[in-house]
Chains A and B, each alone.
Chain A
Amino acid sequence: MTTAVTVDLREAEQFLYREARLADAFALEEWEALWTDDAVYHVPVDPDADPRTHMSIVFDNRGRIATRIKQLQTGRRHSQRPPSRLCRSVTNVEVLGADGGDTVVGSVVQVLESRDRGTTWWVGRVTHHLRRVDGELRMAAKTVVLVDADRALPTMSFLL
């Protein structure tokens, strides 16, 4: 396993901010294009548990990320009808190291979600695995550990 960090902090931050903006705006195709072909999107209940044998809130491979996007695009994903109004901030960005050819970036995300049911504040620690593919930065993995992941959570059908 090589350990070369190939993405600097500034570039990582710009990527994270862009991803956040696209997700907030439901720019679905652009957001989906940020993923690599072998991507994994994970929102665990217990970050120490093996997601192949234990329940997660989200555990999507690339195919399922595509399905999630397509479901939103049908316009009949009722839990996003109308879409949540979202504004998220990404802070505490750190380059944590490298994993193979990926640069591992840590951050904190805070999302305010407004829906008819009320306003929900989602906060978690995020780990991105960033990789350069054909000169463009992509995410190979994104894990969001919500502060209250093991508690009862309301519906969360936007792109976290």
Chain B
Amino acid sequence: MTTVDVDPARTDPLADRIRSLVLPDRVHGSIYTDPDVYARELERIWYATWVYVGHASEVPEPNDYVRKTIGPQQVVMTRDKTGAIHVLHNRCSHRGNLVCDADRGNAGSFRCPYHGWTFANTGDLLGFPFNQGYGGSRARAELPGLGVVPRVESYRGFVFASLAVDGPTLREHLGAAAERLDRLCRLSPEGEVELTAGWVKHEVTANWKMLVENETDGYHPQFVHSSIFSISGSGIGALYSDKSTAVTRALGGGHTENDLSPEFRRLGVPMGWAGTPEAKIPDYVAAMRATYGSETADEIMINGSPHVMIFPNLFVAEIQLFQIQPLAVDRTVQHVTAIQFAGAPDLNRRLVTQCVGSVGPAGMLLADDAEMYERNQRGVAQRQPEWLDLTRGLHRERVDDDGHTIGTATDETSMRAMWRHYRELMT
């Protein structure tokens, strides 16, 4: 009898395949279309790493709850009586029924409509009807409650969850991306973001990674959005050109950004990044100066808001926030809301109006992005030439003072960084 030394990695043909499909300078089309790859993404990424779930401002009061998602998983984000936030699987521990129906509400306990099993908003089983059928009330201690997502942490009100019991802390996961959320929050005179404007949900027939890549692709805006840039006099197009001083940056952990702040600083206009003259938002500007002092306030208002993709599903694009939700290998929902800054009602109204014009199924920007994701998904199903090129700007990449890889505004530095991280997680 012969014994063979088994290298654990060699017994994983899918990992071998993924290693051969995701290369430093190209990816294979099937990485977007293969159901086996998607199934592994759920296990290795969506149900293992930190995933953005919601914002604390969506459950402001004790016992508030909202329905949320972790990829295809239906969860409920609750705030209990003590103020702690929980993420629960929306599934009765008795027969598996969905327990919560409403998108949002206030309830200290949830009662399943099927047989009346009742759970606290921490997940604990509180009881069930006719308990003699289980030998009395003592059975309660032995029967399970709602599934509780084991790890929930928040940063600046952004609530993330991980279905894995162990792993890096949220702070470790966010790394340099955390500072981008700080930068966002500093735009509020109270230092806080509020997500109170409700959501538009835009479904696309495309793999979720198409969206992640596009979010910090500085190469596409001049083409995909030329229709709106050419008639609105928008300066956004110029930010994404070879003349731009903006950079594309890999933040580590698959997180990426288009850092437009060098351009905003060059222009030097407070709120220039938002296309909103100071004169139109005097209360906001006054509140910012009162909080931070004139000089710092101007600096914050000139530097503007981040454009950062926090892997795998949180995209902050200056004035709007997107949450990416895969439903199947070729179906993805993009949830989007206008960012609202605490203590800035005059600015907030303008942000809602601007955001509604840009995003969602009819948005003057996002409808065209969505068209590209869908065309891309149909395209990669074609057999030749098999590979997608990722080499743009590879020769001119450099490392910045913080040790991050950067490229010019239109370089594919962000995609290469995303894929490098993806490959690590998947194999």
Contact = CB atoms under 8 A, between A and B. Distances in A.
Instruction: Tell me, yes or no, whether A and B come into direct contact in the complex with CB atoms closer than 8 A.
Output: yes
A49 interface: yes
A139 B375 CA distance: 36
Contacts of A153: 201-203, 360-361
A64 interface: yes
A52 B350 CA distance: 8
Interface stretch (B179-187, B223-231, B311-319): B223-231
Contacts of B103: 150
Task: Find the residue from B198, B362, B372 having the highest chain A CB count within 10 A.
Answer: B362
Interface in B370-426: 370-372, 374, 378
A74 B367 contact: no
Contact of B227 (A46, A52, A74): A74
Contact of A68 (B224, B226, B364): B364
B248 to A, nearest CB: 23
A58 B364 contact: no
Contacts of A49: 198
Task: Find the residue from A59, A64, A81, A153 having the highest chain B CB count within 10 A.
Answer: A153
A75 B231 CA distance: 12
A75 B228 CA distance: 11
- Size bracket of the B interface: 35 or more
B230 A57 contact: no
Interface in B151-177: none
Interface stretch (B44-52, B211-219, B286-294, B333-341): B333-341
B11 interface: no
A117 B374 contact: yes
Interface in B337-363: 337-338, 348-349, 352-353, 355-357, 360-362
Contacts of A152: 201-203, 333
Contacts of B203: 152-154
Contact of B367 (A55, A56, A76, A79): A79
Contacts of B338: 55
A54 to B, nearest CB: 4
Contacts of B82: none
A55 B356 contact: yes
Contact of B371 (A71, A79, A118, A151): A79
Nearest to A59: B356
A55 B198 contact: yes
B371 A59 contact: no
B348 to A, nearest CB: 7
Nearest to A153: B361
A71 B368 CA distance: 11
A10 interface: no
A27 B372 CA distance: 25
- Size bracket of the A interface: 35 or more
A20 to B, nearest CB: 18
A155 B367 CA distance: 6
Contacts of B231: 67, 70-71, 74
A53 B348 contact: yes
B227 A45 contact: no
A71 B228 contact: yes
Given A57-B361, A71-B231, A77 B368 contact: yes
B205 interface: yes
Contacts of A156: 361-362, 367
B222 to A, nearest CB: 11
A157 interface: yes
A79 B199 contact: no
Interface in A31-69: 43, 45-46, 49, 51-60, 64, 67-68
Contact of A45 (B200, B348, B355): B200
A78 B227 contact: yes
Contacts of B197: 53-55
Contacts of A75: 227
Q: Which 10 A-B pairs have the closest CB atoms?
A: A152-B201, A152-B203, A76-B227, A79-B371, A79-B367, A157-B367, A156-B361, A74-B227, A152-B333, A78-B368
Given A55-B360, A78-B371, A117-B205, 16 more contacts: A45-B199, A52-B349, A53-B348, A55-B338, A56-B356, A59-B353, A59-B357, A60-B357, A78-B368, A150-B201, A154-B203, A155-B204, A155-B361, A155-B362, A155-B374, A156-B361
Interface of B: 103, 196-205, 224, 226-228, 230-232, 333, 336-338, 348-349, 352-353, 355-357, 360-362, 364, 367-368, 370-372, 374, 378
